[in-house]
Amino acid sequence: MTMLRLMWDRFEEALIVFLLAAMTLVTFVYVMLNNIYTLFYAIGEYFAEGSEATSEFFYSIGDFFLDAVQTMTWSNALTKALFAWLIFFGLAYGVRIGGHIGVDALVKLTSRSVQRVIAVLACLFCLGYAALLSVASFEWINTLMQAAIGADDLGQFGVQQWHIGMIVPIGFTLVFIRFVEIFVRLVRNQQVGLGLADEAADAMKLSETEGSKK
């Protein structure tokens, strides 16, 4: 069970890295192609008076890159799709690492037993919310599957809208699973709160660290 959990955690991290890298690569290629053709046009213009053949050669290269840019209308749609997958897959990852910001300043003024009760109630609300959106989004994806509508600018590659949108029920299902894990730890008294990020505490630690260095 521990090995399976470790494998899933590593897969989760690897997928997030892949999505970020793919977004960066697609954007980089598009920006480069969108600017490099002007360089060859400038070189062609430089040789225009001296050698017409050389000038036409560089112009043709510029035309090639310009055509490549014009055919990359799908790049923006692909980047949006990857970003959507990153957001909804990252929801569960954020719960796992405590990356979501906790609004619990008043809660922390209470005793540990009260904090634990409040955390259990909050966790139940989160479970209900995640379950509701998982079911609702699954019905939405089922409708898109039946409609078989192509995704904007990606339909030419056989990508349909439900291919992109399926991350919504997957993401909220993973969020539900992560909160189930938190709920189990709360019931077993292995933790007090939801384990969310505390920006104020982090800022205080950073301030204390900088002060000790001085």
Q: What is the pLDDT along the chain (214 residues), one digit of tens a residue?
A: 677 878 888 888 899 999 999 999 999 988 888 888 888 888 888 777 767 778 888 888 888 888 888 888 888 899 999 999 999 988 888 888 776 666 555 666 667 778 788 888 888 998 999 999 999 999 999 999 998 888 888 888 888 999 999 999 999 999 999 889 888 888 888 777 666 655 445 544 555 555 555 5
Extract the tokens encoding 205: 């630690």
Q: Are 33 and 69 in contact (CB under 8 A)?
A: yes
DSSP state of 103: -
Extract the tokens encoding 10: 């590593």
Prediction pTM value? 0.76
Largest CA distance in the chain: 85
Question: In 3-state terms, what secondary structure has residue 45?
Answer: helix
Phi, psi of 12 (to 5 degrees): -60, -45
Q: Are 167 and 84 in contact (CB under 8 A)?
A: yes
Phi, psi of 160 (to 5 degrees): -105, 165
DSSP state of 200: H
Residue 182: partners with Cβ closer than 8 Å, 6 or more residues away:
95, 123, 191, 194, 195
Start-to-end CA distance of the chain, whole Å, equals 47
